[in-house]
Amino acid sequence: MYLEKVNGPEDIKKINKQDLQILADETREALIHKISNAGGHSGPNLGMVEMSVAMHYVFDSPKDKFVFDVSHQSYPHKILTGRKEAFLDAAHFGDVTGYTNPNESEHDFFTIGHTSTSISLALGLAKGRDLNKNDENIIAIIGDGSLSGGEALEALDYAGEYNKNLIIIVNDNDQSIAENHGGIYKTLKALRESGGKCANNLFESFGLEYKYLEDGHDIEKLVSLFESVKGIDHPIVLHIHTIKGKGLAYAEANRESWHAGGPFNVEDGSPKFGDWTPDTTVFDSLVELIDNNEKAVVLNAGTPMGLGFVEANRAEYVKRGQFIDVGIAEENAVAMSSGIAKNGGTAVFGTFAPFFQRTYDQMSHDLCLNDNPATMLVLQPGVYGMNSNTHIGMCDIQMFAHIPNLIYLAPTTKEEYQQMFKFATTQKDHPVGIRVPGSFVSSGEKDTTDYTIYNKNKVEVKGSKAAIIAVGVMMQMALETAKKVKEDTGVEITVINPRFLTGLDEALLNQLKEDHQVVLTLEDGELMGGYGQTIASFYGDSDMKVKNYGISKAFHTDYDADKLLAENGMSVEQLVAYIKQYI
Amino acid sequence: MYLEKVNGPEDIKKINKQDLQILADETREALIHKISNAGGHSGPNLGMVEMSVAMHYVFDSPKDKFVFDVSHQSYPHKILTGRKEAFLDAAHFGDVTGYTNPNESEHDFFTIGHTSTSISLALGLAKGRDLNKNDENIIAIIGDGSLSGGEALEALDYAGEYNKNLIIIVNDNDQSIAENHGGIYKTLKALRESGGKCANNLFESFGLEYKYLEDGHDIEKLVSLFESVKGIDHPIVLHIHTIKGKGLAYAEANRESWHAGGPFNVEDGSPKFGDWTPDTTVFDSLVELIDNNEKAVVLNAGTPMGLGFVEANRAEYVKRGQFIDVGIAEENAVAMSSGIAKNGGTAVFGTFAPFFQRTYDQMSHDLCLNDNPATMLVLQPGVYGMNSNTHIGMCDIQMFAHIPNLIYLAPTTKEEYQQMFKFATTQKDHPVGIRVPGSFVSSGEKDTTDYTIYNKNKVEVKGSKAAIIAVGVMMQMALETAKKVKEDTGVEITVINPRFLTGLDEALLNQLKEDHQVVLTLEDGELMGGYGQTIASFYGDSDMKVKNYGISKAFHTDYDADKLLAENGMSVEQLVAYIKQYI
């Protein structure tokens, strides 16, 4: 038993090299203990066990600095750097996050969750080292999937002219979340199959020195490789072949479904809490589109499951050329969508709200300046989206609502989404974005709204004195608040569903002045720069009072959504109390 | 004389192949006539003359579709596609923009001004073609400099697995605006020197077929090359070596200074209107920093002149490792800055406001989530920035003001900029952004403000009844308005300089309630989602009236800044009239 004595890298260095595999086995066991009980990124971490042991055996963390791309493969590193209790003891599972975190350990340098960031951040650490005339090793660890992102390729290029120590470990398990997409993966395959010796070496063509290791689970070879480059005076790429899911046969065999997931029974990989049944509203809308319009295509950027296209169902659409995965390359996906729409195709691109952050310039310059009618599905934005600060998507309205030509829509029900999607994918006038919540409320009634009448809001409840304008998922709270106000006071207040976030229904807003004293706005994203403030501005020098509710400005993390809303004044009780002042 | 008979590509096809050089010579003459009289992108266009003639001789535009990267090299294409009068006749110089423009011609497909976009947009056109079961050629024309951008590299990767017609012309003149930076340029050099036959072929390592042409000014060879790939059924890269500035000896010899510029005397290249003397405030601040802090480094992304670092003055700083050009790779620049700051360096990155659009995710996730104290200089934002819709920078406040942890500052004078820069580059608490106007007003007095007191506004004039909060360059109009109001009414109104755009001075705003009835906000960027609306929101349910002024939501282009401001209510006269309602 070595792991119990390992409280940091210094303890690993005391172990005989030939016994390091025992430590690796114990590390994998700790890892499996946690992921099988608490869920997490299974595949990426199982593949990094031996490498993490070898890294800490050879390098001197934290003086030498590891930067993990996405950092969803950093669990073994955490186990080996004083955080093993968070894997061994269920009572401590919550002590660490699923990503590197400088607040947890001096061995972590960045809070990171987006792909393709590690080489660039490592270059920064390296340059900081040089400016301080220090000599530590800087090591980026990047998966093959992350290499398709623009930020990684930009950094790889700059690394090719950088002239000091930088070690780039390409952890190649021949898999992104789903299969890889892009021409560079043909080259990675050729490199693997030729033992690193094929004709065109991607990394050398970026100006970088290169070494290949076929067995990324052979600790002695890993140690030798790392020892051979420790203290190197220029950048080098170590291309290391690993097996995603290593050590669990079912995970090795089903790499996509074992990328990440919930608790499972170790014997056979069966889920502990039954299969999760996803909402298929978005998937159904996409399939209906491409089944009925041969000129339509759905694009995704390395997260096909976000749109409901999983291994079992997407092959047919891929074959038809109507489902495209461009790799983790959101910029290319948005710009391509613009081009497709320009040349007579119907393009829909969808990804999670935090990853849309990578496309601001393409949304503005490539798509909206050119006013091409592509559809953008912004998945799971706001407070009910992913609740880790590494994957927060609270600012989609800030990013997109002000971009000229874009029509940005917020459905409050499943039926509204369906009609908005139909509008977006049949009109030819403008780019359209839709904020897609993680789950839908159903109104039970087909929405037949004509969304070509831009900025037309829907009055859900017509009343007086106070009006609530509620964006998207906040509609339920608005309706409950109105109901409670009526119960308590007998007064019916107005509830408005703006639907359009890129412009105001000025006629309606002016009409409210006649018999309303206050307008409340509710939104599930950040308050500052959001939708509500455009309403406050509209009424700025009128007699209408406006109260904006939204989320405070912070990188919120690991929060309870309803609690965070309440902390920002958004609960039925608080809203009712506020409104009563005006009744 | 062929050019006079050329009104479109069909006329070029009638010319004997051996006479095409005559057309090229006439095209170059027309080009020189315009750029010498009206200015423009000299180097890129001079290098594209022969290629443009050959492209239109072989391909069938507009059925075949050309997508020009940046499109600042599309002047010869414009001359050859019915727009020659805009080059030959001074009265028509203004008829065409400096970029491709679908509103001008059916031969243009995108309004484009940002780099690294062409391959991705072309992939979109190609996919649209496939969905429509058409068979035209899609041709992207990208310069070597643009290849360092993430969007281009993402698209090159996806092109490597795309399986239909796509022709990527890499127009390699071995120069970005300044010299190229990045490892791929070693490979391009090796490819040029080996006639396309060196060991590691960058493009083949992206999975693409490849052909090389050494003399990109030999029309017969260009025609043969294009004929050899016309109708090809898969993607191919044509790597063509050209000479930037071809045909003007001084432009060929001084490629950086002849990238773009104003009118010049054709005989010797001397400027027609004397040398322009740039404001050196930013340059001076950067030099003072790196001269006095050996741990400080200035980063730029392919636009060193934007920071005042021109050929003549930057070598020494590059040599010291204190001035870095990462190539056109803004994402990498921001993430590297975060890493440098994390590892004890002082990092300053600066580029123009429109190009900061490429960094939203790096600003939010890589820099601000990690709260590293790097400094970001956002150059020439707002209405006084570049006034082409291809290069508009009206939304920097929308993009950045809501990002948690960032301190975003707007200086109103040179002295404030200097003190803000000093604050940003000496503090270690947060990332700081500074909106840097194109030219500064001087207050004549050193600013000694302690900017560690966050969100503290400066009261420039203390008055009553009305207050104007004016962001950055709008301060002059605010002061003039106050002066005029006093002259007209005897009442002194208040003028406030917010300085901080990332938070409010709530104490001051509350204090205004005592003796002010209205607050006006002035900003030089878009109104929607801007700074002023945060003020309207703050006062939303108080008795204070708020009137927000900012620029309307549109891709404004070729505007007169003062006129555009006035159209949006921002002129002393209109502001005075509004304020008088409250006095």
Question: Cα dist. A21→A85, A223, A393 in Å?
Answer: 20, 11, 40
* A35 burial type by CB count under 10 A (0-12 exposed, 13-18 middle, 19+ buried): buried
- As a whole number of angstroms, the distance between CA B39 and CA B261 comes to 5
Q: What pLDDT, on the 0 to 100 scale, is given for residue B90? A: 97
- ipTM of the modeled complex: 0.97
Determine the distance from the C-alpha atom of residue A13 to the mean position of all C-alpha atoms in its chain, rounded to a whole number.
Answer: 36
- Given strand A375-379, what is the order of strands in its sheet? A323-325, A296-300, A346-352, A375-379, A432-436, A407-409
Q: What is the DSSP secondary structure assignment for residue A40, as one 8-state letter?
A: B
Contact B356, B385 (CB under 8 A): no
pLDDT level of residue A247 (50, 70, 90 thresholds): very high
- Given strand A209-213, what is the order of strands in its sheet? A65-68, A138-143, A166-172, A235-241, A209-213
pLDDT level of residue B312 (50, 70, 90 thresholds): confident
Contact B315, B324 (CB under 8 A): no
- As a whole number of angstroms, the distance between CA A243 and CA A259 comes to 12
Residues 6+ apart with CB under 8 A from A134: none
Residue of B nearest to A158 (CA): B182
Q: At residue B172, what are phi and psi to the nearest 5 degrees?
A: -100, 100
Q: What pLDDT, on the 0 to 100 scale, is given for residue B274? A: 77
| Residues of chain A above pLDDT 90, percent | 97
Residues of chain A contacting residue B204, judged by C-beta atoms under 8 Å apart: 199-200
- As a whole number of angstroms, the distance between CA B244 and CA B250 comes to 11
What angle do helix axes A20-38 and A49-58 make, rounded to 10 degrees?
130
pLDDT level of residue A278 (50, 70, 90 thresholds): confident
Among B110, B187, B343, select the one facing A129 at the smallest CB separation.
B343
Contact A441, A394 (CB under 8 A): no
Residue B358 region by backbone torsions, left for phi larger than 0, else alpha for psi between -120 and 50, else beta: alpha
Q: What pLDDT, on the 0 to 100 scale, is given for residue B193? A: 97
Residue that has been written with the tokens 């322009």 in this structure: B276
Nearest 10 degrees: CA dihedral of B493, B498, B504, B506?
-40
pLDDT in tens, B429-483: 999 999 999 999 999 999 999 999 999 999 999 999 999 999 999 999 999 999 9
- As a whole number of angstroms, the distance between CA A399 and CA B395 comes to 10
Segment among A12-26, A502-516, B205-219, B251-265 with least mean pLDDT: B251-265
- As a whole number of angstroms, the distance between CA A300 and CA A351 comes to 7
Q: What is the DSSP secondary structure assignment for residue A261, as one 8-state letter?
A: B
Cis peptide before A62 (omega within 30 of 0): yes
Q: What pLDDT, on the 0 to 100 scale, is given for residue A397? A: 98
Q: What is the DSSP secondary structure assignment for residue A95, as one 8-state letter?
A: G
pLDDT in tens, A567-576: 999 999 999 9
Mean predicted lDDT score pLDDT of chain A: 97
**CB-based contact B401 A529, cutoff 8 Å:** yes
Does the pLDDT value for residue A312 go beyond 90?
A: no
**CB-based contact B537 A541, cutoff 8 Å:** no
Average the pLDDT over A107-112 and give the result: 98
Q: What is the DSSP secondary structure assignment for residue B330, as one 8-state letter?
A: H
Q: What pLDDT, on the 0 to 100 scale, is given for residue B545? A: 98
- As a whole number of angstroms, the distance between CA A53 and CA A14 comes to 12
pLDDT in tens, A187-199: 999 999 999 999 9
Among A124, A157, A546, select the one facing B335 at the smallest CB separation.
A124
Q: What pLDDT, on the 0 to 100 scale, is given for residue A425? A: 98
Cis peptide before A381 (omega within 30 of 0): no
pLDDT in tens, A135-189: 999 999 999 999 999 999 999 999 999 999 999 999 999 999 999 999 999 999 9
The pair of structure tokens assigned to A545 is 């009072």
Q: What pLDDT, on the 0 to 100 scale, is given for residue B181? A: 94
- As a whole number of angstroms, the distance between CA B102 and CA B85 comes to 18
Residues of chain B contacting residue A102, judged by C-beta atoms under 8 Å apart: 370
Give the residue from B120, B98, B116, B93 showing the smallest Cα distance to B108.
B98
Give the residue from B107, B20, B37, B29 showing the smallest Cα distance to B71.
B107
What angle do helix axes B150-159 and A150-159 make, rounded to 10 degrees?
110
Q: What pLDDT, on the 0 to 100 scale, is given for residue B45? A: 97
In sequence order, what DSSP letters do the residues of A167-191 get, joined into one string?
Answer: EEEEEE-S-SSSS--STHHHHHHHH
Contact A410, A435 (CB under 8 A): yes
Average the pLDDT over A466-479 and give the result: 98
In sequence order, what DSSP letters do the residues of B479-525 get, joined into one string?
Answer: HHHHHHHHHHHSPPPEEEE--BSSS--HHHHHHHTTTEEEEEEEEEE
**CB-based contact A161 B182, cutoff 8 Å:** yes
**CB-based contact A398 B395, cutoff 8 Å:** no
pLDDT in tens, B470-524: 999 999 999 999 999 999 999 999 999 999 999 999 999 999 999 999 999 999 9
Among B67, B185, B402, select the one facing A398 at the smallest CB separation.
B402
Residues of chain A contacting residue B102, judged by C-beta atoms under 8 Å apart: 370
Question: In chain A, how long is the greatest CA-to-CA distance?
Answer: 83
Q: At residue B571, what are phi and psi to the nearest 5 degrees?
A: -145, 155
pLDDT in tens, B375-391: 999 999 999 999 999 99
Amino acid at A503: G
Residue of B nearest to A360 (CA): B357
Contact A358, A326 (CB under 8 A): no
Average the pLDDT over A113-121 and give the result: 98
Q: At residue A436, what are phi and psi to the nearest 5 degrees?
A: -105, 110
In sequence order, what DSSP letters do the residues of B19-49 get, joined into one string?
Answer: GHHHHHHHHHHHHHHHHHHH-B-HHHHHTTH
First to last CA, chain A: 70
pLDDT in tens, A320-338: 999 999 999 999 999 999 9
Nearest-Cα distance to chain A for B316, in Å, is 16
- As a whole number of angstroms, the distance between CA B313 and CA B62 comes to 45
Q: Is the dihedral of CA A361, A365, A368, A374 positive or negative?
A: negative
Question: Cα dist. B228→B50, B58, B236 in Å?
Answer: 17, 10, 11
Residues of chain B contacting residue A200, judged by C-beta atoms under 8 Å apart: 200-201, 204-205
- Identify any residues that bridge with B465 across adjacent strands, giving them in sequence order: B516
Residues of chain A contacting residue B110, judged by C-beta atoms under 8 Å apart: 338-339, 342, 366, 370
Does the pLDDT value for residue B275 go beyond 90?
A: no
Residues 6+ apart with CB under 8 A from A53: A12, A20, A23, A24, A27, A76, A80, A219
pLDDT in tens, A59-87: 999 999 999 999 999 999 999 999 999 99
pLDDT in tens, A503-546: 999 999 999 999 999 999 999 999 999 999 999 999 999 999 99
* A263 burial type by CB count under 10 A (0-12 exposed, 13-18 middle, 19+ buried): middle
Number of H helices, E strands in chain A: 24, 16
Among A109, A122, A340, select the one facing B124 at the smallest CB separation.
A340
Q: What pLDDT, on the 0 to 100 scale, is given for residue B1? A: 86
**CB-based contact A124 B343, cutoff 8 Å:** yes
pLDDT in tens, A447-460: 999 999 999 999 99
Residue of A nearest to B362 (CA): A358
Amino acid at B217: H
Does the pLDDT value for residue A1 go beyond 90?
A: no
pLDDT level of residue B527 (50, 70, 90 thresholds): very high
Taking one residue from A and the other from B, the number of pairs with CB-CB distance under 8 angstroms is 434
